[in-house]
């Protein structure tokens, strides 16, 4: 963003690991990746909210703390969306084949249900 190295590269590494896992796994793995993403984003949201609190306690004004609060809330909304995506993928796993066929939902290739690529 500003040319400075990130304080922690682990977050970027974790994102790459999640993307790699989703690319190679079947439906169970993809659901697990989405679950991990949801949980991870909740943790990041809490950390950013803590930063906003620390900034406010240190005397920073709302011109600084408000954008940090917005960031925390936006990340929390992303975690909620990832949770919804987890449930959407999981709902496919909970349907019987006949119900799935009759549902009209688009269904992934059968290799996804049998472990993936």
Residue 59 is part of which domain span?
Answer: 27-91
Q: Is residue 116 part of a domain?
A: no
Q: Is residue 107 part of a domain?
A: no
Nearest CA among 51, 48, 20, 18 for reference residue 33: 18
User: Quick one: CA dihedral 107, 111, 116, 117, positive or negative?
Assistant: negative
Structure token pair of residue 33: 């990746």
What digits encode the pLDDT tens for the residues 30-65?
A: 999 999 999 999 999 999 999 999 999 999 999 999
Evaluate if pTM is beyond 0.85: no
pLDDT at 86 over 70: yes
Where residue 25 falls among pLDDT bands split at 50, 70, 90? confident
DSSP at 3: S
* pLDDT at site 50: 98
User: 33 with 18: CB under 8 angstroms?
Assistant: yes
Count of structural domains, the chain: 1
How crowded is residue 89: how many other Cβ atoms within 10 Å of its Cβ? 19
Q: Is residue 1 part of a domain?
A: no
Q: Is residue 16 part of a domain?
A: no
């Amino acid at each position: 963003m500003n040319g400075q190295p990130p304080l922690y590269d682990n977050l970027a590494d974790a994102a790459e690991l999640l993307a790699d896992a989703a690319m190679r796994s079947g439906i169970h793995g993809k659901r697990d990746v989405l679950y991990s993403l949801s949980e991870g984003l909740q943790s990041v949201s809490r950390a950013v909210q803590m930063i906003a609190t620390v900034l406010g306690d240190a005397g920073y004004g709302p011109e600084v703390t408000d954008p940090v609060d917005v960031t925390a809330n936006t990340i929390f909304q992303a975690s909620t969306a990832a949770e919804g995506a987890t449930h959407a993928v999981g709902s496919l796993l909970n349907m019987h084949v006949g119900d799935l066929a009759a549902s009209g939902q688009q269904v992934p290739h059968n290799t996804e249900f049998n472990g993936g690529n």
